[in-house]
Structure 1
Amino acid sequence: MKKISILFLALLFGKRMQAQDVKTSSTDVAPTSKSLFNPEHRRKDSRKGDFYFHWGYNNSWYGKSDIRFQGPNYDFTLQDVVAHDRQSKLSWQYLNPGLITVPQYNIRLGYFIKDNYSISIGWDHMKYVMDIPQSVVISGHIGTNISTTNTPTGALAGDYNGQMINVKESMLTYEHTDGFNYANVEVERYDDIWVAPSGNTSLTLETGLGAGLMVPRSDVRLFGQGRNNHFSISGYGVSAKIGLKFYVWKNIYLQNTTKVGATNLTNVHTTGWDEYDKASQKINYLENMWVIGVQF
């Protein structure tokens, strides 16, 4: 009987010690993401269930693209058009709340569905400006009078099949400066590169894929006929990104991200006669952005 009592006490004591060890380990070790880099230290908190929000600014670069113009009495294509962005010069307007949307900006809101995966919605406000003047190859037809306004085209009227022309402002102004807007949904993955011993400061690699709608406000003048058009859904785009996210503290971060994208604009407003005149083009771009954000 004495042996049975001793055995019972040993088992009871052992279970209490095991339960205490499990409780201690659960409070000391927080769930963390799997990382490709296996950092020496671990974060103290899981990001699952958190939201994040950031705001920042970008610069962009564009590949050459063909632009097709269509309307009453004309249908022509300008090939390998060169364009650039138009980022505002660094000034106090970057900090002026009333002018904060003037520069090329990025805004994004996301939610962590897992510790190392999130889904987000965002608005990339870029700017696209066709270089004027420039020499390009042209094909198609330009009538002597085009559009519903019978706008004269002068010496540029005719049929083209691969000739070079010098596009001047009197013929064309073509910009998405209010802007070249990409409204998108993205899925992101995060891999910790380095985590401070405290677990609160870290450097994380972010990768992601996105898709969405192109909503430009295009400023176009075709043979002097046109305007700064209203915002419109003109096509769609897809993108991929990679960046570094530095958590200054577990809830505040700075981030630099590079994004590559491909867009297809099928209905760009041009002269202001939206039901008659339009342009279309496919634009590939490279975008680099700096943002500051908060996780909550």
Structure 2
Amino acid sequence: YYIAHTELFVIQLFLSVKKQYLLFFLLIFSKKLSAQQVSDANADGPKIGKSIFSNEVKRNFSRKGDFFVTWGYNHSWYDKSDINFKGPGYDFTLKNVVAHDRQTPLTWDYLKPSLITIPQFNFHFGYFIKDNYSISLGWDHMKYVMDIPQSVQIEGHIDPMISNPGIPTGHYAGQYNGQVINVGPDMLRFEHTDGLNYASVEVERHDDIWVPRSQQTSLTMETGLGVGAVIPRSEVYLFNVGENNYWNLAGYGVSAKLGFKFFLTKGLFLQNSTKVGWINLTKIHTTGRNEYDTASQKIKYVENYLVLGYQF
């Protein structure tokens, strides 16, 4: 009797332990099945580019295949640069020239369609080739104005008569080897105010910084590299002879940018970016006698711009 009860107890204990193990394995299996289903769902969902920021909420949509367009205005700062002037009877370089941009006063002109391109504007149109990479075409309309008067070093020579037909140079005539002269309006007026136009192709990367659970707004960082042509309209007067020249392909430039985009809605965004660039102008129109007179310079600049954009 005792042995029989003992065997019955052992059998009941075995069945109880077996039932617990079975429940445990069922629980583990259901967890793995659930994880597999989530993984499969993610595999079928949109491919979202990996952000360098550890934002908690991820977007539930991809940007790949979207277009975007932006429009806004800029402010620029220029490093000192050397400007070389060359033509019949002269070949001289002004060293470390100081220049600034020229902001259009804030008036209703910014909102008039016929005058909208007068201020220093930025326009870009782009396409997302991947979720977090895009390529765009841009036009940066900057303005460059040499400070007059200013004292600079000069190297080269200036004859008493230059260009063709001859232009008298007065007391500026001479041979120079680093002397300091005061450049006044009777010698030079030099500006790209209509403007210093940088037409570029740019490649951008986009990294989400913050995405709310509503997915309707977000904050994104944009970085990019660009290369393009520089097509200035230069207004130059050399010894009181010159004009507001027509646009011409004067050189090329390269640039890098960093900015932040805040999406007001899923498509509408406000963007502020800073761009650093280098421009090489090898054929600047000066007196209007383009077959004789020319100038060249290399410009380093920093540009900040604020634009309104739409992604669709």
| Fold in common (TM above 0.5) | yes
Measured against aligned partners, the alpha-carbon deviations of 1:48-105 in whole angstroms (never above 9, x if no partner) come to: 0000000000000000000000000000000000000001111111111111001000
**Cα offset, 1:200, TM superposition:** 2.1
Instruction: Name the amino acid aligned to 1:50.
Output: D
- How far apart are 1:149 and its partner, in Å? 1.8
Which residue, 114, 135, 138 being the options, matches 1:122? 138
After TM superposition, list the pairs within 5 Å mapping 1:64-143 onto structure 2.
Answer: 64-143=80-159
Greater share of residues in helix: 2
Unmatched 5+ stretches in structure 1: 1-13
Aligned partners of 2:67 and 2:177: how far apart in 1? 54
Residue 69 of structure 2 corresponds to 53
Give the direction of change, closer, same or farther, for the CA distance of 1:227–1:165 in structure 2 (3 Å limit): same
Residue equivalent to 1:5:
none
TM-score with structure 2 setting the length: 0.87
Q: 1:28 to 1:253 in 2, by over 3 A?
A: farther
**Corresponding residue for residue 150 of structure 1:** 166
Give the TM-score taking structure 1 as reference length. 0.91
Residue type of the partner of 2:185?
Answer: E
User: Quick check: 1:133–1:169 contact (8 Å CA) kept in 2?
Assistant: yes
Structure 2, unaligned runs of 5 or more: 1-29
Count of matched residue positions in the alignment of Structure 1 and Structure 2: 280
Q: For the pair shown, which has the larger CA radius of gyration, 1 or 2?
A: 2
- Equivalent residue in structure 1 for 2:218, among 197, 202, 208: 202
Report runs of 4+ in structure 1 exceeding 3 Å deviation. 20-24, 26-30
Query: Kindly, what percent of the aligned residue pairs are identical?
Result: 62
Aligned-partner SS, 1:32: coil
Matched, 1:261 2:281: no
Is 1:34–2:50 an aligned residue pair?
yes
Paired residue type of 1:245: K
Name the CA distance, whole Å, in 1 between partners of 2:286 and 2:80: 20
Indicate which of 79, 93, 110 corresponds to 1:63: 79
The Cα of 1:44 is off from its aligned counterpart by 2.3
Task: Report the Cα distance in structure 2 between the residues aligned to 1:22 and 1:78, rounded to whole angstroms.
Answer: 68
CA contact (8 A) 1:65 1:81 kept: yes
Show CA shifts across 1:113-133 (max 9, x none).
000000001000000000000
Structure 2 CA distance for aligned equivalents of residues 97 and 234 of structure 1: 28
